Structure 1
Amino acid sequence: MTLTPVPFRQFVLKVHSRCDLACDHCYVYEHADTSWRGRPRHASDEVLAAAAGRIGEHARTHRLPAVHVVLHGGEPLLAGPARLRRAADLLRAALPEECALDLRIHTNGVLLSREFCRVFDQAGIKVGVSLDGDRFANDRHRRFADGRSSHAKVLAAVALLREDEFRHLYAGLLCTVDVENDPAAVLDALVELEPPRIDFLLPHATWDAPPKRPPGMGRTPYADWLTAVYDRWTAAGRPVPVRIFESIHRTLRGRSSLTESLGLDPADLVVIETDGELEQADSLKTAYDGAPATGFDIFAHSLDEVARHPGMMERQSGLAGLSTECRACPVVRSCGGGLYAHRYRSDGSGFANPSVFCGDLMKLITTIRDRGPAATGVPEQSGPVEPVLTDGQLDELAAGYGSTETVRALAAAQLGLTRRLVAAVAAGRPAGAEAWRLLTRLDAEAPRALDAVLAHPYVRAWAARCLQGAEHPGADLGGLAETAAAAGLRAGAEFELALPVRGGAVHLPGLGLVRMAGTGAGAGAGTARLTGDAEGFTVRAGGEPVRIGWDTPDAGPWQPVRRIGLAGGWTVALEDTDPQRDSHQWPVTGRLAQDDLLGWGGALQEAWELIRRDLPGYAPGIRAGLSTITPLAPGTAGGDVSAAGRQAFGAVGIARPATAPILALLVAHEFQHVKLGAVLDFHDLHDRADDRLFHAPWRPDPRPLEGLLQGTYAHLAVTEFWAGRVRAYDGLRSEAAEAARRQLATWRGHTVDSVAVLVGSGSLTLLGERFAAGMRATVEPWLDLPVGADAERWAREAAAENRAAWQARSARPAPTGS
């Protein structure tokens, strides 16, 4: 099977190629690669603009919800405030609206000033600082060229970041391990600076230039040093997240790593040098001269071309790309072979070796594993989240269907994406620290409860709105507290947390809302304090506390989300409480009255029976992936109203139609959009740079290629639904039977025609062509189902009228598949 390149989501943009320190362990200037000597000192405006353009192009092509860009060097502050601000402005302007930018700078800190911090505040740039511990530890390596200490200047930089005005910019500290430093003193010095996170990095080394192992320290000094740090960190109550320890905890539990130096996640990072050359990870500079080079640059090559470079593909091949020794190792899924650069040996084996730190990694991982589960965890923040889909599962989806296992795999990938989005919202924001601490605690103590809340469709909708800067009354950090509180209540945990009062109510995603006395629906603002325990929770907002137990009836202040249990094990929530549910283009209803609730229940029971009977290939996926139906207000023109929110996987919005069969049709139709949207989050089916508009036979307006693809995919279910109705009316002559035959004739024709347009566009990827072939194969059997000459003629005439209207409107021939 050919490996499909993983889109880049992390970008290192070199804004300056020189440094004001002379650190003797620096991989850029002190190791094998010497390419820095020929680089321009700073990135020109042309390079910055081209880099931003390529990143924006890549984000649009792959519909990335977020990208992470690190401004780097050398020492990036040497580029000056104006150039850094220019880089930030260009990046934000180049990215599509729906793609969030996580922008950071990594610096040694000696030049950091209030002027820089003000620029970073305005440009939304978070700051990570390199510091190896106390002065004694830091001065072993991080000195000026004349031997002067840098420690005092770095401490001044961190002090600036800890001021109230700039605290939200403080991203964390990076420390390179030196086993001759005192591990306890190093940790204490770093923790004292209250960083949001600490990264401990192993020094760069290869089998040709191995790391130092001082006499008397044994065979695994790096494992012993980090274990000493781990023990002290644990004894202190784990006061700050430490990326290497949390990555080990996560990978031991089968989750993704938070660092490229551990785990089997495919690499998704590319480096852009000051001259515009595109390189692999900087760490490869420690292997041999020219090791990171790809031969590509941002002016002549797209990022998709770089992603197909053999070196990039090798770093994305997971377990298959490791040495024989690594593949047989019991901790390989946690270790992942270590950092790619650390495997290099010049004897002809290249990178097909275990890490030069193999023994240390084995000892560190097994020691942490054997000391029991983590006491804290961190929702996923970095690294790609790819669905685990076999070729067979992709073919199922291409045909329009999707088994229980396949849709669950899509849901798991969406959950990982939601974790990343929530973490991106919380990153570096002190206002959300209380909620974040509860989330990380629950991630370790009650991960299933946390996952249940993060899987609620409108948690992702909230996070996406926050990252997009959407003008929405709920697009704020209050959603983080609401999410944490809902997860804590699901877990039966004891906690206390401040929550916003929105429209006179406290909202708990996926659980319901509590109406607060004395706050009107228009009040909106305010804060309540929620205390949770195993029996329920109490909410206080100035007046008398409100106590809600899990047996509290749906009356008075408590309005829980109501769920309907259907035959065959499908339970679906009728979500009429969540303020984020207005994600479906149409107005939502308010709280359903009891009669309306009963009407929905009866209609869903009947609709689900019809889906199971007439759409047996679609029913398992719906049961596995559709958790929520949001009632919408009826359309003003009297037509049926339904929609699927692109950022709300697992939910559809529907205005309850007059009949159960139409409800069945709307559920199946909209869940097709949900499935395909999940596929498009991780797989490229067409050239997203193709901005042509195409004729869609079911619409009077021209559609972009993705709109045509979405509509075609949804109409597979529509066609099969009407085929089932036609078979049910076999031999009968009635108005309903004739209407069903006309619908089948119409939708099978529309679907076949639009598949031909997709194929004829020339813009489908190889996987997109597989999807087109799968859709065509699914609809073909329904072409032979007899509907009668009247229905065929009616469908042809309606299609001809639509095409003529489209041509008149667009003043050009409609593209076809011929």
Structure 2
Amino acid sequence: MTPSPHRMPGALFDAVAAGGGGAGALRLLARAEHSRRLACAYAVTAAAREAGGSVAEEAGRAWELFTAATRAAPGATAAVLTHPAAGPALFGLLAHLTRREDPERSPVGWYTALAAAAAVRAGLPGRVEWPVDGPWVALPSLGRARFPGAGSGGRAEVRVDAAGRARITLHGQSPADAPVPVPASPYRSEGRWHGSHLLTTLDSGVPLLLDVLDQPGFPNAVRCPDDLGADEVRRWSAVAREACGLLRADHPELYAELAAGGRLLVPLTNPGHGTVSGSSAETFGCVAMSRPTTATGFAVTVTHEMQHNKFAAVLHLFDLLEPGSPERFYAPWRPDPRPLLGLFHGAYAHLGVARFWARRRETEPDPGLRAEAHVQFARWRLAAREATLVTLASGRLTPLGHRFADRMLHTLDALCRLPVPTSARHRAESAARAHRAAWQERNGSAERVEMQKTPGEQGSQLCVRGGSRTGSPRITPLTTEWDRGARPPP
């Protein structure tokens, strides 16, 4: 198993930077993410070998199983490694091993579970076992089996027979439950087996799935498949189908990106008001979100998080930022100061949001909702442009990073030249002023906040000096004004 080199043509790089890229860009980024996961799996195996002991033995067996599954059915290994659960599992394990923490406490079972899933997908006869805690045994990309009453200290065993049929048994501190068969048909739940829920199938034949992400997951995510009742799944399915129809009809490039590869939705709980969503750099193809109540809310949220997915994958291929100081900047969509990388990420996501509303205000048939679309368009084109200008002026962009941000600005300048009704523009500007004032009241004192002029702008940019440097968060919340029915201040 050898990762392949990946090259992105300049024209495609520019198209992605401008906010789009289409299906071709998503397929290229997905291939690159697959190679990255494969390289990480090899790095985990090598790091475990250096750690020695039982960890080295278990990781070595998992690598051999991956290799055998790849020879038998290459697509089986690819399906597992590209599943969103594989990213946090592999990189979390690699971080544990490279930090030289207690190797015997490393979560190497995650690695074995991934290899077991590849073996099941490939129909590879044999058996594999690994340690698990609790009643759920996950086969990432396939589903999970439940063993009620099981505690910690158990060991899961997967057996695949000569006909390719698989079943799971839990040994140790578990009740004497019968083995759980793994259905041959995907997206099927029966008995104590829980698969992903198929919300809809896109034109390319690609499924749009709803499922609990195997550990480690997102904050506020639904933890167990049992928490997703049939009625709730039907509500998700109804709004997803309507949203996909809207994207297909009015946003063909966005729909093509959605349909270019597997897409998993992870349901979030306790959203409060509006739609809360998030994404992680290591879960390409995954969107975590609370269930929107409207198709438009669903579509714009998926658009927002797909932009984060694309940008994270681009950052895995190219260095867009130079290391720098720990300043925190004002972001027109966040209540807290953001590092420059977070600001860049958010600007790109909201560029996509602005493009979505630019089209939606032309296609929305309801006059009231069309007026709201004008407000949303005016609000987020302004916010994304402001953040992009600050990013360009930071002095920390690499040549490629400057090229990327410059293409973003070119798109935003074009959007800012489009006419907007005066009332919508005033409401958007009022909302922007109210957000900035609330941010200053929450975060700024004269000692901590420095006002910096933004090049070419009459306003100023807030920059917080000092503080510890942290990376971008695992989850980026977005509250969608459209979906919660709130209106910006008049």
TM-score, with length taken from structure 2: 0.81
1:588 aligns to what SS in structure 2? coil
Alignment partner, residue 484 of structure 1: 115
Counterpart check, 1:532 vs 2:160: yes
CA distance in 2, matches of 1:816, 1:475: 47
d(CA) in 2 for partners of 1:551 and 1:807? 54
**AA paired with 1:415?**
H
Which residue of 406, 412, 427 maps to 2:31? 412
Tell me: CA distance 1:778–1:613, structure 2 relative to 1, closer, same or farther (3 Å).
Answer: farther
Change (3 A) 1:687 1:562: same
Give me the whole-angstrom Cα distance separating, in 2, the residues matched to 1:581 and 1:541: 21
Measure the CA separation in 1 of the matches of 2:373 and 2:205.
27
Aligned residues: 428
**Counterpart code for 1:669:** H
Distance 1:701-1:817 versus aligned 2 partners, 3 A rule: farther
Distance of 1:729 and 1:649 partners within structure 2: 31
Q: Structure 1: how far apart are the matches of 2:21 and 2:304?
A: 14
Task: State whether structure 2 residue 120 is matched by structure 1 residue 501.
Answer: no
1:617 equivalent to 2:238? Answer: no
Unaligned 5+ segments in structure 2 are 50-55, 457-490
Question: How far off its partner does 1:511 sit?
Answer: 0.3
Output the amino acid matched with 2:166.
Answer: F
Distance, in Å, in 1 between the alignment partners of 2:244 and 2:216 is 23
CA contact (8 A) 2:72 2:124 kept: no
> Aligned pair in 2 of structure 1 residues 639, 525: CA closer, same or farther (>3 Å)?
farther
Distance 1:550 1:617, change over 3 A: closer
1: distance between equivalents of 2:213 and 2:135?
A: 13
| Corresponding residue number in structure 2 for 1:757 | 390
- Name the structure 2 match of 1:399: 18
Structure 2 match to 1:813:
451
Q: CA deviation at 1:581?
A: 5.2
Match of 2:296 among 661, 665, 668: 661
Deviation of 1:575 after TM superposition, in Å, equals: 4.6
Q: Offset of 1:577 from its aligned partner?
A: 4.4
Gaps of 5+ in 1: 1-249, 257-384
CA–CA distance in structure 2, aligned partners of residues 388 and 437 of structure 1: 29
Preserved contact between residue 422 and residue 460 of structure 1 (Cα < 8 Å):
no
Q: Summarize the Cα distance change of 1:604–1:549 in structure 2 as closer, same or farther, 3 Å threshold.
A: closer
Counterpart Cα distance in 2 of 1:608 and 1:815: 42
Identify if the C-alpha distance between structure 1 residues 722 and 589 changes in structure 2 by more than 3 Å, giving closer, same or farther: farther
Matches within 5 A, 1:280-299: none
Identity of aligned residues (%): 34
1:607 aligns with 2:226: no
Q: Which moved more, 1:609-618 or 1:595-604?
A: 609-618
Residue 774 (structure 1) aligned with residue 407 (structure 2): yes
Task: Determine which of 219, 230, 248 is the counterpart of 1:594.
Answer: 230
**2:364, 2:181 → 1: CA distance?**
55
Please identify the structure whose Cα radius of gyration is greater: 1
Q: For residue 152 of structure 1, what is the aligned residue in structure 2? A: none
Q: Does 1:451 find its partner at 2:49?
A: no
Residue matched to 1:11: none
Q: Secondary structure at the residue paired with 1:717?
A: helix
Written as runs of structure 1 = structure 2, the 5 A alignment for 1:349-498 is: 386-427=5-46, 428=49, 429-469=56-96, 476-498=107-129
Q: After the TM superposition, which residues 95-494 of structure 1 pair with which residues of structure 2 at under 5 Å, given as runs?
A: 255-256=2-3, 386-427=5-46, 428=49, 429-469=56-96, 476-494=107-125
Question: Is the CA contact (8 Å cut-off) linking 2:212 and 2:266 kept in structure 1?
Answer: no
Higher relative contact order (CA 8 A, sep 6+): 2
Match of 1:83 in 2: none
1:630 aligns with 2:261: no
C-alpha spacing 1:664/1:485, structure 2 compared with 1 (3 Å): same
Q: Answer whether contact 1:469 1:475 (CA < 8 A) is retained.
A: yes
User: How much has 1:574 moved relative to structure 2?
Assistant: 3.1
**8 A Cα contact 2:44 2:94, kept in partner:** yes
Q: Distance in 2 between matches of 1:677 and 1:594?
A: 33
The answer to whether the 8 A contact 1:426-1:432 is kept is yes
The CA distance in 2 between the partners of 1:624 and 1:671, in whole Å, is 12
The corresponding residue for 1:259 is: none
Displacement after TM superposition at 1:455 (Å) = 0.8
Which residue matches 1:106?
A: none
Q: What displacement does 1:389 show?
A: 0.7
Distance 2:180 2:137 in 1: 11
Q: Distance in 2 between matches of 1:551 and 1:620?
A: 26
- 1:546 maps to amino acid: V
Q: Deviations along 1:450-507, whole A, 9 cap, x unmatched?
A: 1111111111110111122399xx9611112211111111111111111333321221
Task: Render the CA deviation track for 1:403-451: whole Å, top value 9, x for unaligned.
Answer: 2222211111111111122222233111333323211212323222111
Partner of residue 33, structure 1: none
Using structure 1 for the length normalisation, give the TM-score: 0.50
CA deviation map 1:253-277 (0-9, x unaligned): xx44xxxxxxxxxxxxxxxxxxxxx
Inter-partner Cα distance in structure 1 for 2:92 and 2:344: 25
The amino acid that maps onto 1:409 is L
Residue 665 of structure 1: CA displacement? Answer: 0.6
Matched, 1:541 2:206: no
Letter in 2 for 1:634: N
Structure with a larger share of its residues in helix: 2
1:589/1:665 Cα in 2 relative to 1: closer, same or farther (>3 Å)?
farther
1:552-567 superposed matches below 5 A: 554-567=189-202
Letter in 1 for 2:61: E
Provide the secondary structure at the position in 1 that maps to 2:203.
helix
- Residue type at the aligned position of 1:426: T
Q: Is the 8 A contact 1:652 1:667 kept in 2?
A: yes
**2 CA distance for matches of 1:581 and 1:612?**
33
Q: Aligned letter for 2:9?
A: T
Query: Does the residue aligned with 1:617 lie in a helix, a strand or coil?
Result: helix
Deviation at 1:744, TM superposition (A): 1.2
CA 1:783–1:505 in 2, change beyond 3 Å: closer, same or farther? Answer: same
- In 2 relative to 1, CA 487–603 (structure 1 residues): closer, same or farther, beyond 3 Å? same
For the residue of structure 2 that corresponds to 1:568, the secondary structure is coil
1-structure distance, mates of 2:289, 2:423: 32
| Superposed CA offset, 1:121-172 (max 9, x none) | xxxxxxxxxxxxxxxxxxxxxxxxxxxxxxxxxxxxxxxxxxxxxxxxxxxx
In structure 2, what is the equivalent of residue 647 of structure 1? 282
Contact 2:378 2:425 in 1 (8 A): yes
The yes-or-no answer on 1:676 pairing with 2:311 is yes
Report the RMSD for the aligned CA atoms in angstroms: 2.5
Secondary structure of 1:469's partner? helix
Task: Show the counterpart of 2:461.
Answer: none
Instruction: State the SS of the aligned residue for 2:451.
Output: coil
Give the secondary structure class of the aligned counterpart of 2:206.
Answer: strand
Distance (Å, rounded) in 2 between the aligned partners of 1:443 and 1:404: 26
8 Å contact kept, 1:458–1:648: yes
The 10-residue stretch of structure 1 (447-456 or 534-543) with the greater mean CA deviation from structure 2 = 534-543
Paired with 1:657 and 1:796, the residues of 2 have a C-alpha distance of 26
Matches for 1:65-104 after TM superposition, within 5 Å: none
Q: Is the 8 A contact 1:748 1:779 kept in 2?
A: yes
Distance 1:762 1:570, change over 3 A: farther
